[in-house]
Structures are given as structure tokens and as C-alpha cells.
């Protein structure tokens, strides 16, 4: 028995890569336009990347500091996707909808805490 295939299923080969890049750029544009938290976090990430690049730490530590900041953006995008799907299904208040949104928010909080702890450890080890 064959599985049903969505009309929206991606293309193959190089066309798939181009389409995926386009979809990703659309996602970034939409997040920037519609998600206040994403804009705020992206501004913090840009500042953090600049600081990480000029800090007198190893290349690996620079990469690590930048990676934990990007992790926050990744989790925020996933959280925004969860919220969008929940809102698409129904705008009425429901305990399961609240759970889904709260779980996404908790994931963002954990990512932020990991980033803060990581920066604190690297900076502490470098300067104290």
C-alpha cells in the first residue's frame, strides 16, 4: 500500500535546495515581521556575536558563545511555529492549547538559561 503524498511535498535534487532556502528566508521574514520576541532576541544575538568575536578567548569559545545564542533563536522559531499551528487549529482557549504554548515558552526559557550560563562560565574562566 502506498502512502498518500501531499501536493506540498518538496521537490528533489537542486530544486529542493532552492525551494528549502526560499522557504527558510520566508520564515525569517515572517518571524521578523510578526514575532516581537524573535526581533528582540535577534538584536541580542547580533550584539552578542560582535562581543564574542572581539573577546580575547579561543576560537572554540567564540564558536560556543555564538552557538548558544543561535540556539535561542532556533528554539524561538520552533516556539513560534507551535504557536502558529495552535492558533491555526483554533483561537478558542483550551487547556491543551495553553499547554502547547507554555511548553514552547518553557523551551525558550531553558535555551536562554543555557546561553546565560554558558556566557557566564566562559567569561568567568577568562577574566577570573
Active-site annotation, residues: 76
Output the nine-digit C-alpha cell for 12.
Answer: 528533489
Question: Which among 45, 77, 39, 65 has a CA at the least distance from the CA of 121?
Answer: 65
Nearest to 71 by CA among 23, 126, 123, 110: 110
Q: Does the CA dihedral 59-53-20-97 come out positive or negative?
A: positive
Instruction: In whole angstroms, give the CA distance from residue 124 to residue 118.
Output: 10
Handedness of CA 94, 97, 103, 107 (dihedral sign): negative
Amino acid at each position: 500500500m502506498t502512502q498518500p503524498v501531499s501536493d506540498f511535498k518538496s521537490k528533489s535534487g537542486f530544486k529542493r535546495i532552492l525551494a528549502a532556502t526560499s522557504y527558510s528566508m520566508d520564515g525569517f521574514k515572517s518571524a521578523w515581521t510578526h514575532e516581537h520576541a524573535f526581533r528582540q532576541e535577534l538584536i541580542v544575538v547580533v550584539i552578542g556575536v560582535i562581543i564574542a568575536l572581539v573577546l580575547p578567548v579561543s576560537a572554540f569559545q567564540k564558536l560556543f558563545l555564538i552557538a548558544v545564542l543561535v540556539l535561542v533563536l532556533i528554539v524561538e522559531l520552533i516556539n513560534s511555529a507551535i504557536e502558529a499551528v495552535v492558533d491555526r487549529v483554533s483561537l478558542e482557549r483550551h487547556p491543551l492549547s495553553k499547554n502547547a504554548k507554555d511548553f514552547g515558552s518553557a523551551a525558550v526559557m531553558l535555551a536562554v538559561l543555557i546561553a546565560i550560563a554558558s556566557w557566564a562560565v566562559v567569561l568567568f574562566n577568562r577574566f577570573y
